[in-house]
Amino acid sequence: MAKAAKGTGSTRSLKLPRLYPIMDAGTLTGRGLEVSHFAEELRDAGVRLLQYRDKAGGPAHILRNARIIADVFLGVDCLLVLNDDPVLAMLADWNAVHVGQGDTSVEKVREQLVQGGIVGCSTHNDEQVSAAEAACADYIAIGPVFATGTKADAEPVVGLEGVRRARALTKRPLVAIGGITMQNAPSVIEAGADSVAVISALLVDGRTVEEVARDFLKILR
């Protein structure tokens, strides 16, 4: 399986790569893209942090795709994160889960993962950042930083100032998400994010996902 960094809720236990691609099942299906091929392109580009998110698929479908991704990254030092479901993560032999505000709590997810599991948490305002900090999330995501069309129920935009405020509220790894592109990604890092999460920005007409991911990695060094 792909290796996963150990996490214990410590502010020093996890260092995230700058680029955090999210494989969103709905986006892939809408573009007619195969999970295995998309994962292979990210692997070949040098991606070492990846989340799989599927809001519509059933457990068997999600588990199947999680195992496909794990096979693609077999032997690669990459942290694979499953959205929402710690049980499916464990069944897929993953040990990292990302939860939103309406999902299982950070504390309960940590109880379900084997010792050293990683738990990330989405936040959308200062209060939620502080709560995720108190819950000892291994990393905290803040957003949407910019307007995004990936999520129909997106929270209000926080802007770069929201990233700065989040940075001031936590020393944990900070992931910025929402409307991030090749053009604005550097400004998000400058505002205090350790990593930028991207979804649709990886899909550029006339270019492969591998090429785009490589360019992201270059500008985020």
Supply the residues annotated as catalytic.
Answer: 53, 122, 151
> Measured on CA atoms in the order 174, 179, 181, 183, is the torsion positive or negative?
negative
The token duo for 180 is: 């991030």
| CA distances, 88 to each of 61, 65, 92, 156 (Å) | 10, 11, 6, 30
Spatial separation of the C-alpha atoms in residues 162 and 146, rounded to whole Å: 10
3-state helix, strand, coil in the chain (%, to 5): 40, 15, 45
In sequence order, the 6+-apart residues with CB closer than 8 A to the CB of 145 are 157, 158, 159, 160, 162, 163, 176, 177, 178, 179, 180, 188
